Structure 1
């Protein structure tokens, strides 16, 4: 690995030489804390941190991120929304500030408080008004040098905890090494011990690999090739399997309106080429960037994704609560929520907004000399609603073109013609279908954006899609093929 400055972590690995595979690694709690914190990382930050990683892309989120990043600001309700979407804050950022390597924080430590002394709402953002109708008037800084900055030096896990991690990202305390795990060693030939020091660069490579590979440790540290294409949609015949379809209906005031869109597809191979949508669909898509990564894994089975980061999520679920410095740390990882102030009024996905720092509420009682908050959302009887809501980041009326891989651009007949010509799909093979994005489809679209390069196809079209055929067309456009082959 390349030399780099910054924090380093030691991994003591068992390597199967003949198979060129890392069986497992022992490491300290500091490294595992960094991995656990990935569950609270906003999807936009995942796309930003891994945009230069090679090989492969992570589903469609890179395309979505770059499309929003390049979107003309005249389509935005407020120019400030651009930074919120491409650089969102994490609801759990305060728990990650003192980790040995903090990948979560975006550098902001500002909070805004509602002007209503009975509301007690706090937001990370000063856009719009509180849900109660009052302005988010009072500002507080909560940086490392602030008196309001909480003492979180202990991090997420207790200092004496030691862990093992397998090649497929299953994490367990060393005390849980049982006979079944030790029997795994018998499957391999020569095994050697190897200790390496890794830093930020390697951790980011691990993140990228864990989202598309079943062997991220071996691929990162042994240059093992990934046999499964990241473009292949897993479980096409079974679909994306939801495991948690219920959520608290605390937000009955939200306007859940289904969205209609038109899909244009190759009817021979049943592959979506593009969708013609209005601003409401792009609003739904763009808010995905503010979601914590772990939310998708909390809602779908591990098998719904091409990588093995879901194994890490399940490991957190199974880790003894006594190994955490506080039960709220574990809850922040397994039930990740939106940062306060990010609730989108018409969002079809039932993700909840965090109630800000309920265990540190006393730190914010003197946010302004003009105002004292005597009640907090965590108190009995406090109003249980998000700090504020917005009606969407995209200004309408507007029409957009959304590709199968979630590239978004303003609609143009010329762009449509050029796209169809480049994909070399005969006009006679084109068909249109009006589809509806409801709550269930929105959840599947979120998962597909992380699991597949064909998010529209996976969400709206039949399960017998010939994905390999479409991949060939894409490769041909990129100069990787020399002719058409039968699909």
Structure 2
């Protein structure tokens, strides 16, 4: 089983990892966290330990599992939410430790070879989307993703996001810097470590399990390396109203976000390797959702990756081929149309949203989603919360980008996401930088 070796500087007095020194393999994995869909993260963490929770996200994921498929526009819509594709899959598959188990190399077409060759000519990345002829697109075709252009033939120089062979320093809170004496001293100073005799070096070999634990801790802890490498305690639970993580995230989102052309500006610390291409920087700094996963009027305005690939049907092998493939025997091949998996229509290009309209749902404070049943549902909720009818009132709220951003942040770190989003207000002058100084 593959492992990655980390050299950690540990403060014995506080039993805390100050930083680790690593090669590009570990940094590539950390950077890949930025590209992963949330559904994939919850799926992986749940497999690691069913009791592990990320705010309300586990409830949201479980709700999708429990909602009957008849409420979705297509059967594929449910699969897209539970097992979303990664727009950066072509890069992530080259990581030394592979943690994303979603297969993006499979394509599906109509059961009828005649239909795909001269009929509707549709191709799908999800199974059982219905072709225009009425048949399910269940015929499995495997097309391997093209390797990233920055991959080299030298095994030592096959970085994914960080191409050149280099060493990096990674702080306990995942700040990544090129390895240097000044970087090490800076991190020691920030933590107030004045006596270096308390610092000892330890070697840790981590595998897939430890990487998944780091992924989870990166969402709920300010000290993920310490939590995982030193096993200081169980993964923190964010149920305390005064939780540091909860407060810092919720303060950061609403009043201090800047919007340029409808996009939210996010501050990230990224290693500036001179050999990192602009395309890779774009993937990390402005991650997009996979093609076919977007929908109109999405409040957060997350963009959908553009699939510039074209696929043709090869008469001779009865399989689709990519544009970069050599056209066999100089044949003229029929062009295939990529089916929008959310579309129930035969054209395959009009899908919008995941759920059928006008279906209605009840969403609890901890983001449990169920098909609406006004009387029985309200009675059950009030009984569960021990609240009388006299103590409730109804109000209407608007959900725009600000509210959607607050709800997203709250869903990570709170078990009362709706209350935190619509009823609680954080001080306007509170910034995450203020919390970090404490």
Q: TM-score range by the shorter chain?
A: 0.7 to 0.9
Residue 159 of structure 2 is aligned to residue 157 of structure 1: no
Residue 12 of structure 2 is aligned to residue 58 of structure 1: no
Match of 2:364 among 381, 403, 407: 403
Match of 2:93 among 90, 97, 100: 97
> What are the superposed Cα offsets for residues 282-339 of structure 1, whole Å, 9 maximum, x if unpaired?
xxxxxxxxxxxxxxxx94667xxxxxxxxxxx222xx214142x33122111111111
Residue 257 of structure 2 is aligned to residue 243 of structure 1: yes
State the shift of 1:390 in Å: 1.7
1:18 — aligned with what?
A: 13
Residue 292 of structure 2 is aligned to residue 341 of structure 1: yes
- Whether the 8 Å contact between 1:8 and 1:197 is mirrored in structure 2 is yes
1:181 — aligned with what?
A: 187
CA, structure 1 residues 62+11, in 2 after alignment: closer, same or farther (shift >3 Å)? same
> What are the superposed Cα offsets for residues 63-106 of structure 1, whole Å, 9 maximum, x if unpaired?
11111011111211211221111101111100111110123451
Question: Which 4+ stretches in 1 moved above 6 angstroms?
Answer: none
State the shift of 1:396 in Å: 3.2
2:423 — aligned with what?
A: 461
SS for the counterpart of 1:434 is coil
- Whether the 8 Å contact between 2:18 and 2:188 is mirrored in structure 1 is no
CA, structure 1 residues 21+329, in 2 after alignment: closer, same or farther (shift >3 Å)? same
- Whether the 8 Å contact between 1:343 and 1:388 is mirrored in structure 2 is no
- Whether the 8 Å contact between 2:44 and 2:100 is mirrored in structure 1 is no
TM-score normalised by length of structure 2: 0.73
> What are the superposed Cα offsets for residues 157-177 of structure 1, whole Å, 9 maximum, x if unpaired?
224121111111111110473
> What are the superposed Cα offsets for residues 419-441 of structure 1, whole Å, 9 maximum, x if unpaired?
21121223332121111223332
CA, structure 1 residues 129+84, in 2 after alignment: closer, same or farther (shift >3 Å)? same
User: Take 1:450 and 1:365, find their aligned partners in 2: how far apart are those partners?
Assistant: 47
1:46 — aligned with what?
A: 41
User: Take 1:365 and 1:431, find their aligned partners in 2: how far apart are those partners?
Assistant: 66
CA, structure 1 residues 39+391, in 2 after alignment: closer, same or farther (shift >3 Å)? same
State the shift of 1:450 in Å: 2.4
Match of 1:234 among 241, 247, 250: 247
Say what the alpha-carbon RMSD is for the aligned residues.
Answer: 3.9
When structure 1 is superposed on structure 2, of 422-431 and 225-234 the one drifting more is 225-234
User: Take 2:101 and 2:303, find their aligned partners in 1: how far apart are those partners?
Assistant: 20
Report how many aligned residue pairs link the two structures.
Answer: 374
Extract unaligned runs of 5+ from structure 1.
Answer: 1-5, 116-120, 131-135, 249-297, 303-313, 374-386, 466-487
CA, structure 1 residues 198+403, in 2 after alignment: closer, same or farther (shift >3 Å)? same
CA, structure 1 residues 464+97, in 2 after alignment: closer, same or farther (shift >3 Å)? closer
1:476 — aligned with what?
A: none
Residue 183 of structure 2 is aligned to residue 166 of structure 1: no
CA, structure 1 residues 453+156, in 2 after alignment: closer, same or farther (shift >3 Å)? same
State the shift of 1:188 in Å: 5.5
When structure 1 is superposed on structure 2, of 173-182 and 154-163 the one drifting more is 173-182
State the shift of 1:61 in Å: 1.5
User: Take 1:354 and 1:201, find their aligned partners in 2: how far apart are those partners?
Assistant: 29
- Whether the 8 Å contact between 1:21 and 1:218 is mirrored in structure 2 is yes
- Whether the 8 Å contact between 1:341 and 1:389 is mirrored in structure 2 is no
State the shift of 1:54 in Å: 7.8
User: Take 1:464 and 1:160, find their aligned partners in 2: how far apart are those partners?
Assistant: 44
- Whether the 8 Å contact between 1:42 and 1:90 is mirrored in structure 2 is yes
SS for the counterpart of 2:44 is helix
1:193 — aligned with what?
A: 201
1:353 — aligned with what?
A: 304
User: Take 1:58 and 1:160, find their aligned partners in 2: how far apart are those partners?
Assistant: 35
CA, structure 1 residues 105+167, in 2 after alignment: closer, same or farther (shift >3 Å)? same
2:79 — aligned with what?
A: 83
- Whether the 8 Å contact between 1:53 and 1:205 is mirrored in structure 2 is no
- Whether the 8 Å contact between 1:16 and 1:188 is mirrored in structure 2 is no
